Amino acid sequence: MKRIDKIQNFGRALSAMVMPNIGAFIAWGLITAIFMPTGWWPNATIDHLREPLLNYLLPLLIGYTGGYNVAGKRGGVIGAISTAGVVVGGNVPMFVGAMIMGPLSAWIIKKFDEKVEGHIRPGFEMLVDNFSLGIIGMILAIIGFLTLGNTVTWLSMWVGEGIKWLMMKHLLPLVSVIIEPAKVMFLNNAVNHGILTPLGVAQAEEFGKSIIFMLESNPGPGFGMLMAYWVFGKGIEKSSAPGAVLIQFIGGIHEIYYPYVFSRPRIIIAPICGSSACILFLLYVKAGLIGVISPGSIISVILMSPRGETLLLVSGVLIAAIVSFLISAPIIKNSSAVEKMAENKFTPKYKQKHDSSVKKSCAEIHHIIFACDAGMGSSALAASSFQKRLKQITDSVSVKHASVSSVPQEADVVVCLSALVGRAEHSAPWAEIIPLENFLQDPALDELLSRFSKNERELFSVENIYINQKADDKFSAIRMVGEALVKGGYVNRKYIDAMIERENVSSVYMGQGVALPHGTEEAKLEIISSGIVVFGFPQGVDFEGEKAYILLGVAGKGDDHMKILEHLGETLEDEEKLSRLLHATTKEDIYEILK
């Protein structure tokens, strides 16, 4: 597990240098696709932009971003300086050189700053900062120019020749065996933007197009598998598949289908074969894309297709989808019930852990963060969808999206897929983590939304409050509470026995003079509708040496049980309200406190 975490951390570091600059890659790709000699509208004058953007702008942006990620703006500046040396010293686009020099030079300046901190005379800080940055940046730029530039040039040529060899031997489809499993391990952005995009850009510059852009971003394999879930799936996997299909194929957010793979791990063979089939077809027809496609949408594929090859590339996507569908279908149809997404055997440990943890009340939640690997795909979509639902209840809670590795300090609740729970816990140990199986339709989202619901007030009225009561012992008091629930039409009489049984198993005394009598789990069938009753005992009721002055009888039908307890918990945690409740003398006072 530690080794996988290290690989993911390395992959995220690569991705984090490229992802913020994808817009620049797309700008270069569009200029290439439109204005190059074989483009849609050839223009020799505008085409002069192509090489400077590729050879200078893109590597410098990557170097700056890599440095910024390590040491802020100061790191970004020195990252750009050192990258410039590598750019001038090489003969190919220096993406790899930028990924090395950017973070490395930022780490060096960061260590220098730590060493001199506290040793600079007042008034000389700016002078030292500027000259240290300039001198160290100069040295690193020269080193990059003399050494790394030629090394990266040689390495790039070697990798390029390797890709050519695979293509000549028709072995390129085999890379799908590595890429597709890596994607569902949430290394998709690292693989695509950290490794394949620079290689594809270099190849497109040489040949005018590159098949490498389709290796990871092809929407066909996931589309075919999701269609199979739509046709042959059951329960939540079937009902959620149509929305996932739209988001994945049109929106290009591939993370949406990863939970479907987790639910049946062997189904990964379907996207592997689908991707391989597409690559084989594109090799045969000698088709490729002009620029990077991000997100991996069918729309992006069409926009980045060379003139005259759009139909070929769309056909490749459809071939991938068909193959993936045909392989997925029998796997889904023959799966047993225990493999259903709702019962995913790979995630219960997370669910159990977080179900037992203390959930935050709606009063404690001000910022909800939806997190995915990059923070720019499925999490953005899910956050937008949940915010619309939440706004119907309250406007006081912000819902944002972020990378699971960079959860902001303001987060009160972090929502992520189950496979990312470990990383979310490490990134935001202070927050409540809510694991999901599906960003679209997951019961956990409904439960989170229910915390902000105001329906609890409808379960409670002044008629449900009984003050100045007396009881011989705790069991007599619990029976009185149960009788009130029966009288109110909330439960059948058998529920009273279940309340007594619950007390025998584990005391319902909560502390601070309050007890919450309720039935056992098995007694839920005896609940007619959800309700709350309140009993006040001025002389107290003995609960094994502790005195309870307020008994709150609870009957929750379905998911209402947790909602009621959460609502009551908010009140009881408020010391002022609790004191008022214990000293209230009228039903109206109690109602105002608990409503």
Q: How does pLDDT run across 28-87, given as a tens digit for each residue?
A: 767 876 787 766 788 888 888 878 887 889 889 989 998 998 888 899 999 999 999 999
**H helices present in 2-43, as ranges:** 2-18, 22-35
Q: Is the pLDDT of residue 442 over 70?
A: yes
Q: What share of the chain is helix, strand, coil (3-state, %, to 5)?
A: 65, 10, 25
Q: Is the pLDDT of residue 553 over 80?
A: yes
DSSP assignment of 53-97 equals: IIIIIHHHHHHHHHHHHHHHHHHHHHHHHHHHHHHHH-SS--HHH
How high does pLDDT run on average in the chain? 80
Spatial contact of 490 and 527, defined as CB atoms under 8 Å apart = yes
Distances (CA, A) of 212 to 16, 289, 357: 20, 8, 45
Active-site residue identified among 273, 278, 362, 372: 372
Q: How does pLDDT run across 61-71, given as a tens digit for each residue?
A: 989 998 998 88
Q: Which one is predicted more confidently, 157 or 488?
A: 488
The amino acid that residue 542 corresponds to is D
Residue 109 CA, chain-centre distance (Å), reads 32
DSSP annotation of 401: E
Cis before 295 (ω within 30): yes
Q: How does pLDDT run across 556-569, given as a tens digit for each residue?
A: 877 777 777 777 88
Q: How does pLDDT run across 159-170, given as a tens digit for each residue?
A: 656 666 766 677
DSSP assignment of 279-330 equals: HHHHHHHT--BSS--SS--HHHHHHTSPTT-HHHHHHHHHHHHHHHHHHHHH
Task: Tell me which range, 146-155, 339-348, 449-458, is most confidently predicted by mean pLDDT.
Answer: 146-155
Q: How does pLDDT run across 224-273, given as a tens digit for each residue?
A: 999 999 998 876 667 778 877 887 888 777 767 776 786 678 899 999 99
Average pLDDT over residues 411-439: 83
Distance separating alpha carbons of residues 105 and 153, to the nearest angstrom = 20
| pLDDT tier, 140 (very low <50, low <70, confident <90, very high otherwise) | very high
Spatial contact of 554 and 561, defined as CB atoms under 8 Å apart = yes
Spatial contact of 290 and 204, defined as CB atoms under 8 Å apart = yes
Token pair belonging to 21: 């600059």
pLDDT of residue 262: 67
Spatial contact of 281 and 179, defined as CB atoms under 8 Å apart = no
- Bridge partners (DSSP) of residue 417 are 436
Exposed / middle / buried, residue 3 (Cβ in 10 Å: 0-12, 13-18, 19+): exposed
pLDDT of residue 101: 92
Active-site residue identified among 401, 518, 561, 567: 518
Distance separating alpha carbons of residues 320 and 278, to the nearest angstrom = 5
Q: How does pLDDT run across 462-472, given as a tens digit for each residue?
A: 888 898 898 88
Exposed / middle / buried, residue 586 (Cβ in 10 Å: 0-12, 13-18, 19+): exposed
The closest of 284, 285, 254, 283 to 179, measured between CA atoms, is: 254
Q: Is the pLDDT of residue 529 over 60?
A: yes
- Centre a 10 Å sphere on the Cβ of residue 142 and count the other Cβ atoms it contains: 13
372 is catalytic: yes
- The domains found in the chain, sorted by start residue, are 348-450 (3.40.50.2300), 455-594 (3.40.930.10)
Q: Residue by residue, what is the 3-state secondary structure of 407-470?
A: CCCCCCEEEEEHHHHHHHHHHCCCCEEEEECCCCCCHHHHHHHHCCCCHHHHHCCHHHEECCCC
Q: Which one is predicted more confidently, 311 or 584?
A: 311
Question: 532: part of which helix (H) or strand (E)?
Answer: strand 531-543
Q: How does pLDDT run across 302-359, given as a tens digit for each residue?
A: 988 888 889 999 999 999 999 999 999 999 888 643 344 444 433 333 343 444 345 6
How many residues can be counted in the chain? Answer: 595
Distances (CA, A) of 339 to 180, 230, 238, 350, 351: 21, 16, 13, 17, 16
pTM: 0.51
Average pLDDT over residues 17-34: 74
Average pLDDT over residues 93-109: 87
Average pLDDT over residues 6-25: 67
Q: Is the pLDDT of residue 576 over 90?
A: no
Average pLDDT over residues 12-36: 72
Q: Which one is predicted more confidently, 586 or 451?
A: 586
The closest of 350, 478, 486 to 421, measured between CA atoms, is: 350
Token pair belonging to 565: 């307890």
DSSP assignment of 215-246 equals: HHH-SHHHHHHHHHHHHH--HHHHHHHHHHHH
What percent of the chain is predicted at pLDDT more than 90? 19
Q: Is the pLDDT of residue 577 over 70?
A: yes
Spatial contact of 372 and 581, defined as CB atoms under 8 Å apart = no
Structure-token match 């960079």, residue found: 406
Q: What is the CA radius of gyration of the chain?
A: 31
pLDDT of residue 546: 87
Distance separating alpha carbons of residues 313 and 299, to the nearest angstrom = 11
Task: Tell me which range, 50-54, 86-90, 444-448, is most confidently predicted by mean pLDDT.
Answer: 86-90
- The dihedral built from the CA positions of residue 40, 43, 46 and 50, taken in this order, carries a sign that is positive
362 is catalytic: no
Distance separating alpha carbons of residues 526 and 498, to the nearest angstrom = 9
Lowest mean pLDDT across 105-109, 113-117, 189-193, 251-255: 189-193
Structure-token match 């935001």, residue found: 428
Average pLDDT over residues 128-152: 89
Q: Which one is predicted more confidently, 298 or 18?
A: 298
The closest of 4, 19, 9 to 380, measured between CA atoms, is: 19
pLDDT of residue 193: 64
Q: Is the pLDDT of residue 494 over 50?
A: yes
Q: 151: Cβ–Cβ under 8 A, 6 or more apart, which residues?
A: none
